[in-house]
Amino acid sequence: MDLTAASSRAETKLPSDELKSAFDFATNFPVDAANQLRLAPEALVENVNKEAAFGRIITDEQGFTTGMRLHLLEPARALMSEWKQTRRRFDVALEPKMRSIKALQESEGEIEEARRRAERDEGDAEAKLESDQRYIRIRNEFRIAETRYYGLKSEHENRNANMAAYYPFYWLGLLGIGIAEWLINYDVFLLFSGVVAIAAGATFIMGVLLAFAAHGHGLLLKQWSYRFGEHREALDRFGDWRMLGLSTFSLLVVLGAATGSRYAAVMHQMSGQPAINLLGADAQIAVSPMLDVMLSLLWNIMAWAVGVFIAHMAHDKDPNFMDSTRQYNQAHRRYDRYRRPLVEKLQQIKAKLARDIEKLETTARTKMADVTIERELLAQIDKHETALVNAVTAAVRGNAQTYRANLAQLASSQRGSITIERSGPNSGQISPADFRNDQSVVTTETIRSLV
């Protein structure tokens, strides 16, 4: 891209005449001047003979001998110095605009500093929370619960535990069983006792016992394989056997009380009928005690069966999995609740960082928009310098390879009279073959570092 193209693409004012003149002067520096550094084979051989005449050849850490630096690197240094002097005029003319041109690089540094400040603030907030002994205890409890939970979850193929028994609707379902028990038996107890308070109290107790029995039987039925398996200790199984006994006892008490009360109520009704009926035997009310008792018994069993079904569906087959899930959920809530102020602080720090970065980037773009042409001119100068450095590097590298090969060949032919030594960490005498294989390091960084 030339100066005219750069001017046509820019939307800002044109650069000064001094800058345009310096730009033209710098870009006219010939890149092919690097070809002058390439030495003829005869000149290289002559320089090799001069260096070999001393009998002792020393290479530095980069693989250059004294003669190579004198005859190969010094001309390259002179050429690069000439280029720097040629470019200096452009750099001086561009200096007033350099701060705006480098606004993006400066903003990147400021952004990096803002990120470091944010990291320090986040670290300070974390350290403050870590100094709280109560937080440490809650965090450790959470980690223990988390480890146990995910261990059991992996054993259950990563499924979720059935936690319905811990939800309110489960207890509402058992309460419904108690209400059903009330509706079934209240009139019986009232008829039997004739006292509302006694009938209500007895019915309430029966409802509680029936709900307890249904809960125990449904839970044990669902978790039978775990609770009564041979893998458990006998003492642990004894607690579950006791639960089964209490549930069964409660059920039997309810059934016995309901059956006995129904039978007594029926017999009371039968005894209340007159011995002589003026309407005749056909007008008497037929009462079947056994039918009433069996129906009452069946209704209570139906209520119990519904409760067992609810309890069975609301529990997981592994009680440990249910317990670990509940413990993990509780520990997770406590941990999150205690960390909430820190999380809000970290979010605030990140939001402030995002706002600062946006402001810095906007400022940099605004500054760079005013120096569009100058940035393009600088890019072309840098591109021109890169081409020159590459050309000089290629020329010096070719000279160094030829110089090294000739010097190694001469040392081999005059073995004993010419020694080659390496300086630096691996100092010591080396053979001509090793010297030939130990190539000089000639890179673009090597050429740029000459001046």
3-state secondary structure 1-40: CCHHHHHHHCCCCCCCHHHHHHHHHHHCCCHHHHHHHCCC
Q: Residue 23: which of 386, 378, 387, 383 has the closest Cα?
A: 378
Beta bridge partners of 415: 418
Interval 219-247: pLDDT, tens: 888 888 888 877 777 777 888 888 889 99
Q: What is the mean pLDDT of the chain?
A: 82
Q: Is the pLDDT of residue 78 over 90?
A: yes
Mean pLDDT of 53-68: 82
CA distance 285 to 287: 6
Instruction: Please report the pLDDT score of residue 7 as a whole number.
Output: 41
pTM: 0.52
Question: 3-state DSSP: the chain helix, strand, coil percent, rounded to 5?
Answer: 80, 5, 20
Mean pLDDT of 437-451: 82
CA distance 372 to 275: 122
- Tokens standing for residue 329: 């959920």
Q: Is the pLDDT of residue 104 over 70?
A: no
Mean pLDDT of 19-36: 90
C-alpha R_g of the chain: 49
Instruction: Please report the pLDDT score of residue 286 as a whole number.
Output: 52
Q: Where are the alpha helices (DSSP H) in 282-419?
A: 289-314, 319-369, 372-413
Residue 275 pLDDT class (50, 70, 90 cuts):
very low
Interval 310-356: pLDDT, tens: 999 988 888 888 999 999 999 999 999 988 888 888 889 899 888 98
Residue 384 pLDDT class (50, 70, 90 cuts):
very high
Q: Is the pLDDT of residue 82 over 60?
A: yes
CA distance 225 to 223: 6
Q: Residue 383: which of 140, 58, 29 has the closest Cα?
A: 29
- Say what angle helices 168-193 and 289-314 make with each other, to 10 degrees: 170
Instruction: Please report the pLDDT score of residue 248 as a whole number.
Output: 92
End-to-end CA distance of the chain: 28
